[in-house]
Amino acid sequence: MAAPSKFNPLSGGSLQITDEKRKAYPEAWIGMADDVDGASKWLRVGGISDGTTARLALAAGRTTVQGSLGVNCLPTDKALEVKGAAHVSDGLSVDAAITAGTLEVKGAAHVIGKLSVDAAVASNTTVSAGQLALSSSPAGDKATAPGMWTSLSSNAYHGDSAWHFVDTSLPAVTLEMDSRTGAARFQVWMSKKASPQAFEGRLAIDGETGTVAVYGPLTVKDDVYVKGALKDEIGLPYLSAIEVVNHNAALPATKSFKTKGRTVILLASGSGYSTTKDKTIGMDIQIDKVSRRQAKTFANEANSHNAFVAPYLVLTDLAAGDHTITLSALSGTSTDLNDYFSVVAIEL
């Protein structure tokens, strides 16, 4: 904008505004000015100044501007052009497109058309279109610079350091992201039908490690490729397989193993013989001194070593911690150093 007009207000048909003592206000005059854009003639309306700020009030129930209006700038072909921040303290409704450098809205911004933001969304700001809201860090947060807390939400928005829900009878969802701690963070929070105003974590991605945490059951409908170990919430391998028993000698055999409290599949195999023919032989499999299954076979010949049919045990009731497994020969079954026994535990 040009500097205050130096055109002589007392000539050229100008109207001078005075106080009650008929003393003229220096800048309060209405007349022609030709220094607004350097060439064209403009009708200038000056405000009353206290030496620092000139003030002008338009008092009307309805005010219309025909053509273009520029605020802190010369208008071109746009109906309204603003140079600087635009602050709206109540509702803002736009039926077409809105493009902003810095747009600050204290209240709701409702956009029917397209919303384009070329620079930063001001701190403590919510921009919403219907039930979709974009919120930034509340005022006073340590992160009002790059890396500040930001959320993209449906049926909710964050303002005044609190969550607000558009329809309190429906669930809401929000995507949160920031790097305030120095590491990138991305999380998804949702509420349930039974408690639509209580967010619960559903998904988290650690930008430093790439760790993806899913809070709840995971249903996979296609192939999953994993590069590296799949671990649980405390960093232990999620899928683990260990050989608990590797034994070639007469039974019994007892070994210990650890579990994390998830489902365990045991694969047990062994061999033995009978001193008489035509007899069922085998071994008993005990977990913590409780029999869980028997591996058996039928010996047609006497004193001939036979492999037992290996059972698969699915154990869903083993608590996290230490356990023991014991293999013992069934009645009428003999074993010696020529018999081999193996137990593998797979925890899912």
Domain architecture of the chain: domains with CATH? 1-63 (no CATH), 240-347 (2.60.120.40)
Ramachandran quadrant class, 98 (left: phi over 0; alpha: psi -120 to 50; beta: rest):
beta
Strand partners, 342: 246, 269
Residue 344 contacts residue 267 (beta carbons within 8 Å): yes
CA distance 281 to 299: 7
pLDDT for res 190: 95
pTM of the model: 0.43
Q: In whole angstroms, give the CA distance from residue 189 to residue 343.
A: 43
312-315 β-sheet, strand order: 240-247, 341-347, 264-269, 312-315
Q: Quick one: which of 169, 172, 339, 154 has its CA closest to 252?
A: 339
DSSP assigned state of 334: B
Q: What is the mean pLDDT of each run of 10 residues along the chain (348 residues)?
A: 47 73 84 76 84 86 88 83 74 62 56 54 48 53 56 81 85 87 89 93 90 83 77 70 92 92 92 95 95 94 94 91 94 95 92
* pLDDT of 92: 66
Hey, which residues does 158 pair with through a beta bridge?
Answer: 163
Side-chain-side CA neighbours of residue 203 (13 Å): 11
Tell me what pLDDT residue 147 has.
60
CA distances for 31 relative to 11, 36, 66, 74, 236, angstroms: 9, 13, 20, 19, 81
- pLDDT value, residue 72: 85
CB within 8 Å of 84: residues ≥ 6 apart? 71, 72, 102
Q: Which residues contact 31 (CB under 8 A, 6 or more apart)?
A: 7, 9, 12, 13, 14, 15, 43, 44
Cβ 255 vs Cβ 244: under 8 Å? yes
**Would you state the pLDDT for residue 130?**
44
Cα–Cα distances (Å) from 304 to 27, 235, 295, 310, 337, in that order, read 119, 48, 17, 18, 14
**pLDDT value at position 85?**
73
Q: What is the largest CA-CA distance in the chain?
A: 135
